[in-house]
Every structure is written in C-alpha cells, then in structure tokens.
Amino acid sequence: MPDVLVEKKDYIGTVTFNRPDRMNTISGAMLSEFSQALIEMNADPDVRVIVITGAGRGFCAGLDLQDQQDGKGFDTSSSGGGVGQAAATIDLRDAPPIVLHNVDKPTICALNGGAAGYGMDLALGCDIRIASDAAKMSAAFTKRGVIPESGGTWLLPKIVGWSLASEIMFTGRKLSAEECLSYGIVNRVVPADQLMSAANELAAEIAANAPLAVQATKRMMRMAQAESFDANIHHVFLQLLPLFRTKDFGEGIAAFLEKRDPKFQGR
C-alpha cells in the first residue's frame, strides 16, 4: 500500500497518511507525495474541498527520526534530499507546509489521533480542524532540540494569541482534544467513530457552494494576513469583478429568486 492514499468522491478529495505501524511519521518520499497530491487536487475541477487525515491511531507523529538516525536524512522540502544538500541548495517552494498554505481550495484536517511536531504544524496549516476525542497535539520541538520549522511559529500565535502560543511552544506540552477545543485550536471534537462522517459532512456543505467564490474568499483571507484593511478591500473588489461574469453568479441569483438550491458548475 502507498504511504499516501488519495481518494476523490463527490467533489471531496481525501489525503490519508498511511504508515499506521509508524504512527504516520513522514518519510522523505512522503513529503513529495503529499505536496504532489495537494497540487493536483488544487488544479482538479472535480475537487472542491480537501480532507487530510491519518490511518490507524495517529494523525502524524512528525518526521521519521528513525530514517534520520539510519542515515537516510531528508530536508523538509518535497525533494527529499539529504540534510547537507538542503543546507546548500535550500528551496522550500514545494515543501508541504508552503504548498498547503497556498492551496486555494478549503482544507479540513480530520484529526484522528496524535499530531506531534511536523504533524502538528500540518494540522495547524489546514483551514479547519475537526478532532476525534482520542486526538492529541504535541509541540515537542523544544524537547528535541529543534524549532517548529514547518509553519508553527507563524500559525499558532495567529490561532490562539501570542501568550498562549508561547506557553505551548516553549514547554513542548501535549494537549488533549478537549484542551485543543478550549484553546480554539480545533473547531469541534467528535467521537472517534464519527470523525470522518463529520469531516465529510462539513466538506459537502462547503462543496455545495460556488467553488470559485469559496476559493476567492480563501485567497482574500490569506492575503489579508499581510496587508492593510484598505489594500485588502481593493483586492477584494478586483476579485469580485470576474466573479460577476461567471455562470455560477447567474445561477446563484436565479436560485435565490426561484427559491431553490443552486447547482454550481465552477464556471
């Protein structure tokens, strides 16, 4: 079985880390496979929402440190090169955290179990997180002598605020699903056997909306993180003009006037 499973159904693309015997630790090859899956789904008109989860008891326990110890070291870009090579030719444009951040389609993390280190950062990089009651998050970087190299230092303070992010990151503390919910790290917690149905139900609700409008909304929210209010308003207006010319805009207006559910085509 491949280490990264990809499924597409009913406008929902699902990416599953598939190394349950290793708690879905990320190997060098998996970095490239995960990035490629995201890139292909982002370009696929038959995918409107992406769900990311893990097989077995864990979501992702981080990078595979056993590979590192065995001399199979890798950088955290999608190329999977060695550590020395990464220092000399670093290029992170295709690294999973950057690809995940720049995907226009909504991403939902179905947090089925433990997410530690790199796995925690990938979960934080998703737009929405739904956790099973067995899920945990562990910012274990400082306990391993490293830093959150895959987006955590940028993401977590924006999600929970500087002070709480500092406490979580500096201590390397493990958080239960309920703690993640109370801190606003996850949107909701559901019983483990209901996780994928809850994630797919939310994905289907999003996928029923006009996909071009949903993707444009996400782009504008992402751009707003680095620009002024006035600049964002101007960008939103420029983004709105081409949407007015889409068939989906006409369908949305017609469905509203006819009091029926719209049928969007992504055009």
Q: What is the mean pLDDT of the chain?
A: 90
Q: Strand, coil or helix: what is 43?
A: helix
CA distance 119 to 135: 12
> Quick one: what percent of the chain has pLDDT higher than 90?
79
Instruction: Count the Cβ atoms, other than its own, within 10 Å of residue 159.
Output: 14
Q: Is 134 exposed, middle or buried (0-12, 13-18, 19+ CB in 10 A)?
A: middle
Q: Which of 53-57, 81-85, 98-102, 243-247 is predicted least confidently?
A: 81-85
Contacts of 76 (CB under 8 A, 6+ apart): 31, 63, 86, 92, 95, 96, 97, 118, 149, 150
Domains contained in the chain, number: 2
Same domain, 114 and 49: yes
| Range in 106-115, 129-138, 139-148, 247-256 the model is least confident about | 139-148
- C-alpha distances in Å from residue 11, one per residue of 29, 59, 73, 126, 130: 27, 23, 37, 18, 19
Q: Residue 53: which domain range?
A: 4-207
Encoded tokens for 49: 């929402």
Average pLDDT over residues 112-117: 94
What are the tokens at 235?
């960008």
Q: What CATH code is carried by the domain that includes residue 231?
A: 1.10.12
Same-domain status, 52 and 155: yes
What gap in Å lies between CA 198 and CA 130, rounded to an integer? Answer: 8
Lowest-pLDDT choice from 29-33, 84-88, 213-217? 84-88
Summarize pLDDT for 174-193 with one digit per residue, the tens: 999 999 999 999 999 999 99
Mean predicted confidence (pLDDT) in 47-55: 98
Q: Examine the pLDDT at 84 and tell me if it is beyond 50.
A: no
- Residue 12 has phi, psi (to 5 degrees) of -115, 125
The verdict on 48 and 156 lying in the same domain is yes
If pLDDT is split at 50, 70 and 90, which confidence band does 78 have? very low
* Helix (H) or strand (E) run with residue 130 in it: strand 128-132
Q: Do 215 and 152 fall within a single domain?
A: no
Residues 105 and 225 grouped into a single domain: no
Q: CATH no. for residue 172?
A: 3.90.226.10
pLDDT score at 91 = 66
What predicted TM-score, i.e. pTM, was given to this entire model? 0.89
pLDDT at residue 148, as a whole number: 78
Same domain assignment for residues 191 and 83: yes
Answer yes or no: is 263 within a domain.
Answer: no
Q: Do 158 and 219 sit in the same domain of this protein?
A: no
**Domain identity same for 225 and 106:** no
